[in-house]
A = this chain, B = another copy of it.
């Protein structure tokens, strides 16, 4: 308790009181740390939620802003966070996906949580918004990250708004949309000749080097704070359902952090009395070309064997996913599963979601919808139950995947030319 008090007077991150090791439970003060000094386990945020009354908290949330800051009492951010310059992401639509449900044989309600509506059009705005508040608290001046593309854009944009310098690192061969978006905000964008796992290793080295002094790496030394942003997906889904847990959730896996934090968010809502406890199943989605967690799940193994990614779903191309073992735990504990689909199935699923619901997802969204389809077809997911699939990003960032979806014809502006083109609708 002494540690908690000392830490909470040092920095104001709202209800966050300390860092706590996920493996051994050892506590340490709030700081820019990510690995336990005792056992090297990952650090998480410990909170003081003791004073919360469920009804009061629910009302306070419902009266809050239309962004993740409505959940400020459950995040490591100061109470006045909404007044600080930030991108204010979240409160994205939970779309009733009746057309998609019909095509996939659902009799229960299917929803798509569409996170492409965030400021830089991916769920990464949520995690960066939380990391920024930690960066302010720890007085960093430059924001950085290793990224598969979406995170680089989210950090660049948020740094610009919040008044930080930024320098972000990506594999050099990403999609044009992600590269330009990451570069346009005026920070420094550095391509690494290697894959994401190489980028990530390099960033860890940079943290120990004088060159990285004063730098907050949102997904490395600010990772405990950053990760909490993903809980808001769980909070929003349940609030948008009328403060209720769904039966099944399908979530894409890159590092696995999003899936584990959504589970953490659901558990917090149960403990706080904001939703009634009931069983729910969590499913993970990977692309076949980068499916170390899916392979381990199917083999019944606890250990993730790293792979060299080879898939068009570049935002999920993490061959050595840090939270992989926790994902396996959660999928098994909840009675869910981890599944993967081929790149061809990813493309087909992007088009399926667009054609049925008018949602243009990036390749990661194609992975999720493709896996949703496969889970139903293989009997792993029950289409009579209330189900939520998460679209984490935007199709405009991965245009090449569906570049065949262009013009049916080019004609002259005359009725004759229109008729001659023999279009289906004509």
Which residues of A pack against B, CB within 8 Å? 66, 85, 87-88, 91, 93, 96, 98-99, 114, 117, 119-121, 142, 156-161, 163, 165, 167, 170, 172, 176-177, 179-181, 183-186, 188-194, 198-199, 201-202, 205-206, 209, 211, 350-351, 354-360, 394-397, 399, 402-403, 405-415, 418-419, 421, 423-426
A406: chain B residues within 8 A (beta carbon): 179-180, 183, 189
Q: Is there contact, CB below 8 Å, between B418 and A184? A: no
Question: A158 to B355, alpha carbons, bound, how many Å?
Answer: 10
Contact A194 B412 (CB under 8 A): yes
Bound-state CA distance A425–B165 (Å) is 8
Known contacts: A209-B415, A358-B87, A405-B180. The answer to whether A423 contacts B190 by CB under 8 A is yes
B360 touches A184 (CB 8 A): yes
Copies of this chain held together in the complex: 2
Docked complex Cα distance between A360 and B160 (Å): 11
Beyond A85-B98, A157-B360, A161-B356, 10 additional contacts (C-beta under 8 Å) are A85-B99, A165-B425, A180-B405, A181-B395, A183-B405, A183-B407, A184-B395, A189-B406, A211-B415, A211-B426
Q: Once the chains bind, are A399 and B180 in contact (CB under 8 Å)?
A: yes
A46→B412 CA distance, assembly (Å):
38
Contact yes or no, B407 A177, CB < 8 A: no
Distance in angstroms between the alpha carbons of A87 and B354 in the assembled complex: 12
A97 and B142 CA atoms in complex are apart in Å by: 21
